[in-house]
Amino acid sequence: MTKTRLIIIGTGMAATRLVDELTRRVPEAFDICMIGDEPTSPYNRVLLSSLLAGELDESELTLKTPDWWSQNNIRILTGERVTEIDKAARCVTLANGTILNYDQLVLATGSKPICLPLPGADLAGVMTFRDLADVAKIRAAMKPDASAVVIGGGLLGLEAAYGLAKANVKTSLIHLMDRLMERQLDAEAANMLRDDISARGISFHLSANTKKIHGAGKVEAIELMDGTVIPADLVVMAVGIRPNIDLAQGAGLTTGRGILVDDQLATSDPAIFALGECAEHRGIAYGLVEPAYEQARILAAHLSADSAAYAGSVTATNLKVHGIHLFSSGDFLGADGSDVIVLRDRGLKTYRKLVLKNEGGTTQLTGCLLYGDTSDGLWYAELIRQQTPVNSMRPLLAFGRDLATREAA
Ligand SMILES: Cc1cc2nc3c(=O)[nH]c(=O)nc-3n(C[C@H](O)[C@H](O)[C@H](O)COP(=O)(O)OP(=O)(O)OC[C@H]3O[C@@H](n4cnc5c(N)ncnc54)[C@H](O)[C@@H]3O)c2cc1C
């Protein structure tokens, strides 16, 4: 049997999950070559925060044992950058000049961290937080008497600040918005988070805009628009990501914010697919790993000639800061016309908000936000994802799975 030559560009979490799915389905059908420009074998990027915080060793991030690749007949090229795709000739060129031919190509090139174009942003000591190399740089600068400023109060910024503060670095966090994690939390939960993060020794500047990074050769301070100057030996920019679409654009594939894909993850060229953070599906380029895993499952099925369609993902977020439990999924703010159930206990520092939609007599959960006790988070997320009618459990829904399902049964 002639094998399909499948090239995957990127050795990140989406690419690794895809080969995992493919080898489980049709190991003999493909001749797979995976190419990544990071020097290490694939690792769990989500756990970089735990690595930075000193809670895990680098070896614990590895996704596959060294033998796995050869046992599954997968050729993996690390430390190699693809510089060009020739759609007509169906080949890719590597930076070292090697040309590799494909029958089918998958782009899993992830995202790039956004660097604010501030005066001083090119000074030594200004860093991003995206890969193992970034973590090594930040850790090298994490001296106990150092001062750090993190720009960005989203998930990544908070996890970076936590890691720095845990190493006794004097840490300040600057956020443009008036509350932390505004894409995942409402004002009440964001205030609870701010209190818990402050208790870990991190100081905040909310509604703050950065004007300039000062320093002679290396960073010395950050200046805000209101004139506040914060001394800093290192600055971590965690202000967002941009899908990495350079190769796709160079090849003339249709792109928007990400590489445009249909429900089979096919790009504008039927022999080329994209998944993970570089892909844009129905107007959304996801920045989380679960959608990438769902896409990998669908793409593996499609490449194995099974019918499968990706309909988009309901996302869920939690924060990896020891002792802080938060979980948010779906429409956590509550769109017009929805019902909101809130359960709070200030003494226990717990807050639970459920958002419900009622249509034609059927009630569904459309969003949830849990702070303090997140034990039911995955169950709520599943109800949201499955669009399960919750009419019968509604009276006890806010009290969690055990009570709600017992009464409904
Ligand atoms: C610190 C941190 C914490 C996170 N925490 C969470 C979390 O708690 N929950 C969550 O859901 N998500 C989290 N994420 C996001 C999650 O890690 C990503 O969604 C996921 O890794 C995306 O996988 P990907 O394969 O699409 O992209 P990536 O993992 O970025 O992989 C893309 C790979 O392609 C390589 N590449 C790009 N261009 C080329 C080229 N031309 N040639 C060769 N190789 C190339 C890149 O170098 C990279 O190795 C976190 C991310 C970070 C950085």
Q: Rounded to the nearest whole angstrom, what is the distance from the C-alpha of residue 12 to the centroid of ligand 1?
A: 6
What percentage of residues in the chain have a pLDDT greater than 90? 95
Q: Where are the domains of the chain?
A: 4-112+241-303, 126-237, 325-408
User: How confident is the model over 20-35, as pLDDT tens digits?
Assistant: 999 999 878 999 999 9
* Ligand 1 proximity of 130 Cβ (cutoff 6 Å): yes
- Class of CATH domain 325-408: alpha beta
- Is residue 312's pLDDT more than 70? yes
pLDDT band at 58 (very low <50, low <70, confident <90, very high): very high
- As a whole number, mean pLDDT of residues 258-278 equals 98
Q: Angle CA(58)–CA(60)–CA(61) in degrees, nearest 5?
A: 70
Per mean pLDDT, which range of 87-91, 122-126, 175-179, 333-337 is the poorest? 333-337
pLDDT at 28: 87
- As a whole number, mean pLDDT of residues 151-160 equals 97
pLDDT at 144: 78
Pairing of strands 4-9, 30-35: parallel
CA distance 350 to 309: 39
- As a whole number, mean pLDDT of residues 216-234 equals 96
- As a whole number, mean pLDDT of residues 58-79 equals 96
What is each CA distance from 99 to 75, 95, 250, 405, in whole angstroms? 15, 10, 16, 58
Strand order in the sheet with 326-330: 316-318, 326-330, 362-371, 350-359, 339-345
CATH topology of domain 126-237: FAD/NAD(P)-binding domain (3.50.50)
Phi-psi sector, 259: left (phi>0), alpha (psi -120 to 50), beta: beta
- As a whole number, mean pLDDT of residues 163-176 equals 95
Q: Which two tokens mark 163?
A: 């890691």
CATH number at 4-112+241-303: 3.50.50.60
Q: Angle CA(30)–CA(32)–CA(34) in degrees, nearest 5?
A: 160
Q: Rounded to the nearest whole angstrom, what is the distance from the C-alpha of residue 35 to the centroid of ligand 1?
A: 14
Tell me whether the CATH fold assigned to 126-237 matches the one assigned to 325-408. Answer: no
- Give nearest CA residue, ligand 1 atom 37: 109
Q: Rounded to the nearest whole angstrom, what is the distance from the C-alpha of residue 306 to the centroid of ligand 1?
A: 27
- Give nearest CA residue, ligand 1 atom 35: 10
Q: What is the pTM of this model?
A: 0.94
* Ligand 1 proximity of 251 Cβ (cutoff 6 Å): no
